[in-house]
């Protein structure tokens, strides 16, 4: 069922708040990664708030959906989504990257139960997610496995091994969401390793493919609904996004991939983000 107008507005408001709180947190802790966190804000919000069957009371339920942030450097937006969905207390966000914190710089399933897979080394999430998806199918579970990957991450060959394998084994409970922000760590995706038409690539690898505006919560929800219906093939949603979305001077700039936020940039970012809060 489509999103009601009211619910869409609520999700958009959660995204606005998440962006403000994310920048406050990263500035306070003098750590990264702003760019890829901001681009994945709507994706993570829609998964945790609306589409995935997950809740703090069912963290180890065998039929829960699995959400894997394969681009683990965007951990701050994962933690923000977990806090907003009640998996961790909001105050705990302030322990980000502290020694022995549950909120490690990259997500750790050992440190925090709600994290389904430890990530950080790029290119591993899809294979692990495929294993989970196939195991769930063997158990005749209704659960879906959502994996969020970066477009730079897809340079990793292991992703394409997983892609071939997922199609062969008809992993139709596997839903990959690509944060297609066209930028990676030290340049644009095009400069570092051109990926061409990613949707077409997944299609010829035997996947069902959807494309949407990854900052439009309504479009993301509609794509996920369609992806959940299809049988016999793994699904890829190519979510077109902007790295650093919401902060003009970060948008599309690889220098804001992992850089801590200085005071002047923080003031400017807050002005822009809080200006957008009334909308
Ligand atoms: C195997 C591996 N190689 C290199 C890195 C260093 N690294 C961290 S993030 C990143 C760029 C990722 O780009 P992308 O997947 O597009 O992420 P996003 O733009 O969404 O932040 C790189 C090269 C890593 N974490 N793992
Ligand atoms: Mg990218």
Q: What is the DSSP letter of 178?
A: E
Residue 153 neighbours by CB under 8 Å, 6+ apart: 70, 71, 122, 123, 125, 159
Alpha-carbon distance of 124 to 103, in angstroms, equals: 20
The domain made up of 5-278 is a member of CATH 3.40.30.160: no
Alpha-carbon distance of 120 to 111, in angstroms, equals: 14
Tell me how far apart the 2 most distant CA atoms of the chain are, in Å.
Answer: 54
Name which residue sits closest to atom 19 of ligand 1, judged by CA: 184
Alpha-carbon distance of 244 to 242, in angstroms, equals: 6
Residue to probe by mutation, ligand 1, list 32, 33, 36, 155, most atoms within 8 Å of CB: 36
Ligand nearest to the CA of 180: 2
Ligand nearest to the CA of 36: 1
Atom of ligand 1 nearest to the CA of 40: 20
DSSP annotation string for 262-275: PHHHHHHHHHHHHH
34 pocket-lining for ligand 1 (C-beta < 6 Å): no
Ligand nearest to the CA of 177: 1
Strand partners, 179: 150, 239
φ/ψ (deg, to 5) at 180 = -90, 75
At 15, which helix (H) or strand (E)? helix 5-29
Q: What is the DSSP letter of 3?
A: P
Cα(36) to ligand 2 centroid in Å equals 7
Q: What is the pLDDT of residue 237?
A: 99
Residue 271 neighbours by CB under 8 Å, 6+ apart: none
Strand partners, 239: 179, 212
Residue to probe by mutation, ligand 1, list 122, 124, 154, 178, most atoms within 8 Å of CB: 122
Residue to probe by mutation, ligand 1, list 78, 104, 153, 238, most atoms within 8 Å of CB: 153
The domain spans of the chain are 5-278
Q: What is the pLDDT of residue 275?
A: 85
Residue to probe by mutation, ligand 1, list 26, 38, 76, 184, most atoms within 8 Å of CB: 184
Ligand nearest to the CA of 70: 1
Cα(217) to ligand 2 centroid in Å equals 19
In this structure, what token pair is assigned to residue 48?
């945790």
35 pocket-lining for ligand 1 (C-beta < 6 Å): yes
Task: Report whether 146 contacts 122 (CB < 8 A).
Answer: no
245 pocket-lining for ligand 1 (C-beta < 6 Å): no
Q: What is the pTM of this model?
A: 0.98
E strands in 70-227 = 145-150, 174-180, 208-213
Alpha-carbon distance of 79 to 108, in angstroms, equals: 11
Atom of ligand 1 nearest to the CA of 179: 20
Name which residue sits closest to atom 21 of ligand 1, judged by CA: 36
What residues of the chain score a pLDDT lower than 50? none
């Amino acid at each position: 069922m489509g999103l009601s107008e009211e619910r869409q507005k609520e999700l958009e408001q959660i995204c606005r708040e998440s962006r403000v709180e994310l920048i406050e947190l990263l500035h306070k802790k003098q750590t990264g990664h702003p760019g890829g966190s901001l681009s994945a804000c709507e994706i993570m919000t829609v998964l945790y708030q609306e589409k995935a069957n997950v809740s703090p009371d069912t963290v180890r339920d065998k039929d829960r959906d699995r959400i894997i942030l394969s681009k683990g450097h965007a951990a701050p937006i994962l933690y923000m989504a977990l806090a907003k969905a009640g998996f961790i207390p909001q105050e705990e966000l302030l322990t980000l990257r502290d020694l022995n914190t549950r909120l490690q710089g990259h997500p750790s399933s050992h440190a925090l139960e709600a994290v389904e897979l430890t990530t950080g080394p790029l290119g591993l999430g899809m294979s692990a997610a495929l294993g989970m998806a196939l195991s769930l199918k063997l158990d005749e579970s209704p659960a879906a496995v959502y994996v969020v990957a970066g477009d730079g991450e897809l340079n990793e060959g292991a992703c394409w091994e997983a892609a071939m394998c997922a199609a062969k084994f008809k992993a139709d409970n596997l839903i990959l969401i690509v944060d297609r922000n066209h930028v990676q760590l030290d340049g644009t995706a095009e400069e570092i390793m051109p990926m061409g038409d990613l949707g077409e690539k997944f299609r010829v690898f035997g996947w069902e493919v959807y494309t949407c505006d990854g900052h439009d919560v309504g479009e993301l929800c509609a794509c996920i609904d369609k992806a959940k219906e299809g049988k016999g093939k793994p699904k890829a949603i190519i979510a077109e996004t902007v790295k650093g979305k919401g902060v003009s001077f970060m948008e599309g700039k690889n220098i804001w991939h992992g850089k801590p936020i200085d005071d002047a940039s923080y003031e400017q970012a807050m002005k822009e983000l809080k200006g957008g809060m009334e909308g």
